[in-house]
Amino acid sequence: MRNIILDCDPGHDDAIAILLAGQKEKINLLGISVVSGNQTIEKTTRNALNLVSFLSIDVPVAMGYKDPLVRDRMICEEIHGESGLDGFTFPTYDKKIDARNSVELITDLCLKNEKVTIVATGPLTNVGLALKFKPEIKKHIEEIIFMGGSLDNGNVSPAAEFNILCDPEASHIVLSSGLPVKMVGLNVTRKVLVTKEVIERMAKINNKASDLFVKLMKVFNENQAKTFSNFIGGPLHDPVTIASLLDDDLVNYKHMNVTIDLSRGPSYGRTNCDVYDYLKQTPNCYVAMDINVKRFWDIIEEGISYYE
C-alpha cells in the first residue's frame, strides 16, 4: 500500500482517478488537494467534496489557489461543462473543506508521513508551491507522478498539453525539484479511449460507481466529439496515474531529461522530452512511453466493482 496525496481539478477524468484512489485495501489515500483547471477552484473543490461524499471516501479535501503562479487562469468548460462535472447530479452533502489550504494540506501530510507519493492530475500549482514553501517535505516524498505533457503534440496548442499550459512555471518547479518524477502524457493517455463498448461494459457492474462512470462518460464523450475531429472515444487521461500505481507493469517508462518551454512564444508550455539524449543533460523524469490498454480497463472495472 502506498501513502498518496491526490492533487486534482475534477473534471470528469479526475472523478475516475478519485474513484480508483478510494480503494482502501490497495491505497492509503491521505488527502485530496484541489486546484483550478478543468473549472474554477470553487467548482473543482465542490466537485471533489461531492465525489468523496458520494463514494464514502473519508479524507480531508482542501481548496488550493485560484490562479497559476504567473500566467492568466485557464479553464476547460468546453469539455467538462459549466459545473466541471456535467452529466451527474449529486445529492446534497454536508462535508466541508479542510481549514487548511491545499499547500498547507500537502505540506502537513508529507511531514506527518513517510514515503508519500504525490499524484497530480491537474495543473501543478499546488505541488510547485508546496515544494517552494516547504522544501523539507522532499525528504518525505517517495515520488511525484503527474498527468500532463506529451512526447509529441499538445491538446490545447500544437505544442502544449492543458495541465502543463495552465501553469508552466509550477511544472518547471516540479521537474527541477530533484525528486523522482514520473510524467504520464498524452502520447500514452490517448490510447485509453472511452468507447461505446467501454461504457456498456462498465454499466453491467450496476452499482453506484458504475452509474457515476456511465453518466459522466456519456457527457464527456459528447463534449469531446464537439471539440475534436475523428472522434472514437474520449481519452481517460487522469486515471492512468493511479492505475499505474495499482499495477507496476501497466505503464512503461523511460528516464530522460524533460524541460518546460517558458518562452511565452508559440511553444509555451511544451514538455521538451530528450528521448534520444541529444543534449546530454542529467535525466530528471521518467516519461510514460506505452500502456497495456487491456489491463487498464480491467483496473477500471475492478475499481468500479469495489463500491457497493
- Looking at the chain, the whole-number percentage of residues with pLDDT higher than 90 is 91
Q: What is the pLDDT of residue 78?
A: 79
Q: What is the pLDDT of residue 79?
A: 83
Q: What is the pLDDT of residue 188?
A: 98
pLDDT band at 249 (very low <50, low <70, confident <90, very high): very high
Tell me the pLDDT of the chain averaged across its residues. Answer: 96
Contacts of 222 (CB under 8 A, 6+ apart): none
The residue-averaged pLDDT of 258-283 equals 97
Q: CATH topology for 2-305?
A: Inosine-uridine Nucleoside N-ribohydrolase; Chain A (3.90.245)
The answer to whether 164 and 151 have CB atoms below 8 angstroms apart is: no
Q: What is the pLDDT of residue 93?
A: 96
Q: What is the pLDDT of residue 56?
A: 97
* CA 296 to chain centroid: 16
The residue-averaged pLDDT of 10-16 equals 97
Q: What is the pLDDT of residue 228?
A: 80
For residue 226, pLDDT beyond 90:
no
Q: What is the pLDDT of residue 86?
A: 95
Does 9 qualify as catalytic in the annotation? yes
Q: What is the pLDDT of residue 134?
A: 97
Task: Identify which of 193, 177, 174 has the alpha carbon closest to the alpha carbon of residue 231.
Answer: 193
- Render pLDDT for 73-120 as a digit per residue (tens, 0 to 9): 998 887 888 899 999 999 999 999 999 999 999 999 999 999 999 999
Q: What is the pLDDT of residue 219?
A: 95
Residue boundaries of the structural domains of the chain: 2-305
The residue-averaged pLDDT of 234-238 equals 96
pTM of the model: 0.96
For residue 273, pLDDT beyond 90:
yes
HSE, side-chain direction, 13 A CA sphere, residue 74:
19
CA of 208: how far to CAs of 84, 90, 214, 233, 245, in Å? Answer: 20, 11, 10, 23, 24
The more confident residue out of 146 and 1 is 146
Alpha-helix runs per DSSP H in the chain: 12-21, 41-54, 77-80, 102-111, 125-133, 162-166, 168-175, 186-189, 196-203, 208-227, 239-246, 293-305
- Render pLDDT for 140-164 as a digit per residue (tens, 0 to 9): 999 999 999 999 999 999 999 999 9
Tell me the C-alpha distance between 124 and 35, whole Å. Answer: 8
CA of 281: how far to CAs of 139, 145, 256, 273, 284, in Å? Answer: 24, 21, 8, 11, 9
Cell of residue 258, nine digits: 524533460
- β-strands 27-34, 193-194 pairing: unpaired
The residue-averaged pLDDT of 233-244 equals 97
CA of 60: how far to CAs of 6, 28, 100, in Å? Answer: 11, 13, 9
Tell me the C-alpha distance between 233 and 198, whole Å. Answer: 9
pLDDT band at 227 (very low <50, low <70, confident <90, very high): confident
Tell me the C-alpha distance between 297 and 21, whole Å. Answer: 15
Q: Give the active site residue among 7, 9, 14, 261.
A: 9
3-state secondary structure of 308: coil
